[in-house]
Structure 1
Amino acid sequence: MRSWTGVMWFYLLMAIAGALLPWYFNIQALLGPVPFTLKNYIAAGFANNFVASISIDFLIAASTMMTWMIIESRRIKMRYIGWYIAFTFLISFAMTCPLFLFNRERLLK
């Protein structure tokens, strides 16, 4: 096995943080007084102009990055890209993006 580079460690640490930190807040929301519904979830993402700005920024960036992830995975023959896309919606994009970059780096090394 080849040794991991500093950037690989960084991507891996960001993937771990990207899985744990968003879910901490998801759990807090699920335990809160407002019931979880898709309508409430979307409404919270557009509760005011500041939050709407962050939500739109994220949607544009994540859509662009996921498109690149699909194209890049085909280019370098990276397998299981469907899992990254699925986990984006099930866990978090903050986890799948650096995890993809970590595995891409491993494959190209």
Structure 2
Amino acid sequence: MTRHWTPLAVVYLVLAVVGLIGTWTFNVLAITQMVDFVGDLVGSGPAVSSITVDLLIVAIAGSVFIIVEARRIGMRRGWLYVVLSAVTAFAFTFPLFLAMRQRHLTRLTTEARRRA
């Protein structure tokens, strides 16, 4: 069986791991320090609120992309990446989706070449 991990898929996977570690490092700090996570996001001044809105809109657009793209190319359970982002981080699930998408596209291309 052919390996479907292209260099691009590996880059996306590395970004997913960095996103997971980076976000959860600060999540664990917030939990151990008993910080009001949501309150800090919206109440720590205009700069933090701007970043919050910016990232929220990107996450919503990315979630729509994940669902539409997964359906378009025939990936199963694309919605699961969106659900998983609520309990991990979108910085993890979006690059993870891109890595799995790249693998899926590589597999489809390989299969099409075999049939031709």
- TM-score, normalised to structure 2, is 0.84
The partner residue of 2:81 within 71, 84, 87 is 84
> Cα distance, 1:3 vs. partner?
4.8
Aligned to 2:21: 20
d(CA) in 2 for partners of 1:88, 1:19: 10
The partner residue of 1:64 within 48, 61, 75 is 61
Change in CA separation of 1:5 and 1:30 when aligned onto 2, cut-off 3 Å: same
Measured on the aligned residues, the alpha-carbon RMSD in Å equals 1.2
The 8 Å contact of residues 70 and 76 in structure 2, kept in 1 or not, is answered as yes
d(CA) in 1 for partners of 2:52, 2:41: 6
Superposed, 1:17-56 pairs within 5 Å as: 17-34=18-35, 40-46=36-42, 47-56=44-53
Report the residue type matching 2:99 in the other structure. F
Work out whether 1:7 is the aligned partner of 2:8.
yes
